[in-house]
Structure 1
Amino acid sequence: MILKRFRASLLPMALAMLMVNCTLPKKVKFKNSIDTRDRQINYQSKKIYHFQELGVSVSNEFNGARLNGANQSNDSTITLHFAPENTPINKSPYYAFKTWSESPRQVYFELEYPKGFRHRYKPKKRINGKWSIMDSVDVIKTDGGRVLKLMVNQKPQLIAAQEVNSSDDVRQWYMRKIVASNDFVHLESAGQSELGRDIPVLDIYRGSPVGKPIIVLLTRQHPPEVTGFFAFQKFLETIVEKSNISTQFLSKYRVLAFPILNPDGVDLGHWRHNANGVDLNRDWSKYNQLEVENAVSFIRESSKKGGGEIILGLDFHSTYEDVFYTNKTRKGTTLPHFIEDWFTRLEMDIKDYKVNEKDSNSNKPVSKGWFLYGEGAVGITYEIGDHTPKERILEIGGASSLAMMELLLEIE
């Protein structure tokens, strides 16, 4: 099934916005242009696969699932087929499925990817609402894939490359942890995604927003990158925890936090792209994709209406290791010494921690380059490793948030 872009229904709204705002978001030039126009995608068929001989069922009928096919290979093995939403795409196969059986039994699940793709993520399972990494003795290496040995029974198990955090899961988190009981958190919307899902924004400040410098936090441009999302969660929870430092910080600064920028890709179980088959973190130049266009419009309109300068943008992602991608240009930006001071603080505050920084001015139209070239602000891509322990992620996320607030409060 091929998804085609259709915005005719949005035309009246767009015209109304143009009458009010006069202009669409100003584009930002990058050295290397990337074509971010819509590309065809292939949907996975949502279904339950029943294997009567084994008495075992496998399903992808939930948000965040990824399973493109299944067949029984022998009397104890089910082969599961996984494919990306389109190509070219990064070589990081994502998978997520549920399984159960009529009676307890051991089953082998072979994870099969298209030619040229190799296994990346350690399998995780959720039973009774709790996630854990599968024991290595139950994960058998194959050429490019894996075979998982599972004891299954009537209680469904969810197996996934990374913990599934759908748009509903994300909403439950921010409503419970960020919005509830915090009258200084204002739940807003930047608009809708291509498929009509909400793009929530948490607008956070104490008192009036007028004149307050703005810090922008982004995450989930790439659906499976949930370790970065975990750091984002702890970072934001630290900002709103009503400590003395938090109260002072939010009296002086304003935070715009986007907890799920690609809700379509997340719920569709995509490996990397949005519903139009495009990498959102390559569209921070021409804004061909609705999600980026809406986010940029919201950020700039908030800055314009409130008279607050955009000074810092942190975009939370996941990769093979913990790393901060920064821009080389510091002089002349909003916070010329922030990066060096921040990293120094992190190494002081976190036990046995060494900052891994890779600096280069963005040639491709990614968010950190947009903050630099479009706003003269500091832009950082905040990456957490795929297999960084959850406890360590939360430690780094909390410490980096606290250090940021303390450093920015020192600025007169």
Structure 2
Amino acid sequence: MSKPSTAGGGVPDELRRRLGVPDAVVIGLGSMIGAGIFAALAPAARAAGSGLLLGLALAAVVAYCNATSSARLAARYPASGGTYVYGRERLGGFWGYLAGWAFVVGKTASCAAMALTVGSYVWPGQAHAVAVAAVVALTAVNYAGVQKSAWLTRVIVAAVLAVLAAVVVATLTSGPADAARLEIGTEVTFGGVLQAAGLLFFAFAGYARIATLGEEVRDPARTIPRAVPLALGITLFVYAAVAVAVLTVLGPHRLGEATAPLSDAVRAAGLAWLAPVVRAGAALAALGSLLALVLGVSRTTLAMARDRHLPHALAAVHPRFQVPHRAELAVGAVVAVLAATADVRGAIGFSSFGVLVYYAIANASAFTLTPAEGRPARIIPVAGLAGCLALAFALPLPSVLTGAAVLALGAAAYGVRRTLAAGRT
């Protein structure tokens, strides 16, 4: 495994290990319990109908396999970069690079989408301006140090969980609406459940943020394997409770047509006064997702810069704050430009495709571990790899074609770089 280099005046660019299990779990929760639960339920219900919960269960199974594979790999390779590092060490440089490319490009688009989600909830008429302000503010938080990021994430997670708990209690105690009672027989198809699982999977994807922080947690061989399943289990419980509650009140058809499903659910429950609170919770959740996304993308950027797949200047670590400050500023600048100028909803499909490719490589990497290296049961990486590929190709065709084209572009850039390097030698 390659070791971190030095950057700028011989100052080591290793990151300081400050995070324990609670901090790592909170960062994972902040990544998973985000805007997805406020937005993904409606399109998933439209795809699966009353099979929504089956889609959620399938997404959770794939996420569990990915989480287990990622946790074992992170314990073995506790360095920033996540699957970029795992693929490089287990499968070869190209596969690590492809994973890093898919993560950085796809998640940068997700960052912009989350920023615009904040803007659309806080001030719809000035969504782009609010989005840019959110990116600037959270980049400053991340720049000041990972401990401050973990503290802010803890506050956001607590507030979002409180809002979701209020939605669950309000809807379940109100009883199902008449329309919901009439929809029990909604048709369920395998393709619809698979598509719903693909949409819902990304609400679970935040556990990778724990792995990408592998260089900043204390005792990673113990902390990461504990933090990942804890964060995933808590998230699954919360999502299942919310899905059951909203389905009970709205039914699958009304849920599928809803533009703001949780707000519509509390209104249908006769608690319209709670709707503004839910909107505020959605904005806060998107803010938490954005915080964790910028954190994770900057760490993968750091790892790729160390290996010179990205400009090496981005590998610098701030001597005082012990964060990859140049990588964070670069990521923040790109996301701010996207948030100011683009409607990135069309890029979400590509982001989804890229994330599934990223996790497919993680599962393939975990399959190569030996028992002495902490290999999980063989069925876990096999099921995870198959699940990632199935969900990726269940996405709409334009998303698949766009994602494949961008990945091919990254692969071509890798080939050109290798050719030029070989020519110099």
Short-chain TM bin = under 0.3
Name the structure where helix makes up a greater proportion of residues. 2
TM-score (norm 1): 0.23
Using CA pairs below 8 Å that are at least 6 residues apart, which structure has the higher relative contact order? Answer: 2
TM-score (norm 2): 0.23
Max radius of gyration: which structure? 1
